[in-house]
Structure 1
């Protein structure tokens, strides 16, 4: 029915499968799919360009029609894109076994999948009279360059991880762009609920309501954060491991923290959905801060900060999108059951444990195992409780991909 359904379900299931395979590799030396570059390359590629892009595709195939006031993409489009994504996964997993032919096929399918996504959404984003959402298009274009660069390096026999790091930077930018849209509703809904609480359950405005102005995701703060993240990504690519990159990473962290100044709206921030999105930015800022400190000589390996970005900011934000956009566009109200908090806490714990494994004197393998277990808990709960939503019929009177309709 809608593009988010197969892609969001695949996102949750893929998150569990990938990390269970990785835990088997870390704990027992079990084999992972043989790909050019080795096990770490497979792990990084699939989390960024498999799991991550599945979530991006599901979000954009649903959000772009809404953002541009255009009809939903048809079932054939959703099915074709999902089959292409699946074929790209299989080709990459078999690329080491099939030799050069497999590597070429994996490159064509993976790069082709993202190229097809761009071709599908670009006309609508460009033709939108106000062109308010072109940032998604520029982000997808940058991600396509990162993915193409990865496979070009792999085919040329070079170690392709530098392009995964570019992909991480692009993903952080896409997260900032997407959350600026999602947060406008989530935080303002929390503010409305707080006003109702203050007013004893009535919608009548009181003078003290002026203390709770509407939340706005202000472009200057957002653009500064995007610029900081993009600048660090470029500097790290051109001058890997440099002191300059360390200072720019700290600047990126500061820019993300500055963005959070728009979020300080009082008690409403403590609602589960607003605070979950708020935590994404803290994880992102902490990730760039740790990377910066590492490059400036602090006793912490850069991957500690990198995993705060991937396991933390990316993992929690994608989970939030699955819960918020996935449920509402499937005709369901937001889920207020305890499992959401347990899953979100598990993902944050996974990020913190993985980052802690990069600190001196810490039990590396033990913390990595804890991180994987917490991640699998979080996305396992998502697969359990959201999976039935993504494959089931709408419970409201809606028939398409629109948000939940009130029965009143």
Structure 2
């Protein structure tokens, strides 16, 4: 059956050309559909699936183990073969993982009617998905010379551990919210790990473009492991302290340390004019929001007069939402053989997500119900816009004649008077976190 005439569930359909396609599609649809249901619940009283822990647990679970996990799965299944210079994964294992993601949604949504069965199905599906990712990635990460990207494997293992803790508590009838807060820390750490790789390509491509434009040689950008390791240590310290003794002064000071460590990461990014180009600047904002989220959390815990949930929602709505949005745009276009530049809708969608994060954080000090609804609407608008622009890309064959996961061909070299700087692809990282 030709790709143009294949049904969506057929391996011949373009949706299965590369692992990011089905998972990014799920992340995009989940982005506006799940948040739309949440906004409807907040403003209009729409019913939500009755799950153990209530609607807030449903909302956090679906954001962290539904939307975010779909985006992360698409990223690692596509990027790890590229980083390790190994073949792309075939459609068969990817289809199994997609089925597990869907089963996880079905089981958790059903858990209110039959808690034991629903939670068991959700746990097996979600942990099976994360375990399946680890099983596919581990041989390539461990055999890679120097094991430069093995941090992805440890991050997934930690994600599985925390997710398992959530389901164990839920099955025991214990409030599982502490595990959801820990999941936020895991995602922040994974974002730091992933951003160090993504930025090596994006920032250096911007430096190369500036060198070609003005003929002035510049030093390449390097995401330095010591800064990354310090940020991971600070984030881990806050997450552990908040898990053991939530709301205490130790958590407050460690949150402020995490904010400082996030700002310290940005010292590597200050490369002059190349930073002001679209893609580096948008990625830069992710770390700015991370620093803001942890700073607000720390100040609130020290008696700042507002809820620490303001910082928490900057991390989830802002950092997590914007990171998934940008990864889908960058990897989705590049590995579909399309140029990601010249897309004016991208910064508009990013601005909507930043506004959503600020509105959600402000809700604790101003008009809670109204601003929560505004934040949900802005988030939905961003991912609906991205869905309209990118879902057709994932649904149709490549127009450039490239292979399933091939990226764009390398750019033309700069003039001889301005030697092209190294792009410092992820392989250049000599020390991993």
TM range (shorter): over 0.9
After TM superposition, list the pairs within 5 Å mapping 1:364-379 onto structure 2.
Answer: 364-379=368-383
Matched, 1:123 2:139: yes
Deviates most, 243-252 or 60-69: 60-69
The structure 1 residue matched to 2:221, chosen from 199, 212, 215, is 215
**1:406 Cα offset (Å):** 6.7
Matched, 1:70 2:86: yes
Counterpart CA distance in 1 for 2:324 and 2:18 is 18
Matched, 1:159 2:165: no
Using structure 2 for the length normalisation, give the TM-score. 0.89
Q: Is the 8 A contact 2:103 2:121 kept in 1?
A: no
* Residue aligning to 1:333: 339
1:406–1:64 CA distance, 2 compared to 1 (3 A): closer
Q: Is the 8 A contact 1:396 1:406 kept in 2?
A: no
Counterpart CA distance in 1 for 2:149 and 2:41 is 41
**1:407 Cα offset (Å):** 11
* Residue aligning to 1:203: none
**1:85 Cα offset (Å):** 0.7
Counterpart CA distance in 2 for 1:405 and 1:221 is 32
Counterpart CA distance in 2 for 1:232 and 1:50 is 24
Q: Is the 8 A contact 2:115 2:171 kept in 1?
A: no
Deviates most, 189-198 or 344-353: 189-198
After TM superposition, list the pairs within 5 Å mapping 1:222-371 onto structure 2.
Answer: 222-359=228-365, 362-371=366-375
1:374–1:168 CA distance, 2 compared to 1 (3 A): same
Q: Is the 8 A contact 1:349 1:374 kept in 2?
A: yes
The structure 2 residue matched to 1:23, chosen from 28, 39, 48, is 39
CA shift digits 1:317-355 (9 cap, x unpaired): 111100101111111111422211110100010001101
**1:222 Cα offset (Å):** 0.9
The structure 2 residue matched to 1:107, chosen from 123, 139, 149, is 123
Counterpart CA distance in 2 for 1:129 and 1:272 is 33
Secondary structure class of the residue paired with 1:184: helix
Secondary structure class of the residue paired with 1:252: helix
Matched, 1:36 2:55: no
1:87–1:335 CA distance, 2 compared to 1 (3 A): farther
* Residue aligning to 2:200: 184
Q: Show structure 2 runs of 5+ residues with no match.
A: 1-16, 413-433
Counterpart CA distance in 2 for 1:378 and 1:335 is 18
Report which structure shows greater RCO (CA 8 Å, sep ≥6): 2
* Residue aligning to 2:416: none
After TM superposition, list the pairs within 5 Å mapping 1:164-175 onto structure 2.
Answer: 164-175=180-191
After TM superposition, list the pairs within 5 Å mapping 1:86-105 onto structure 2.
Answer: 86-105=102-121
Which structure has greater helix proportion? Answer: 1
CA shift digits 1:180-201 (9 cap, x unpaired): 10111111111122223324xx
Using structure 1 for the length normalisation, give the TM-score. 0.95
Q: Is the 8 A contact 1:19 1:376 kept in 2?
A: yes
Compute the RMSD of aligned alpha carbons: 1.3
* Residue aligning to 2:425: none
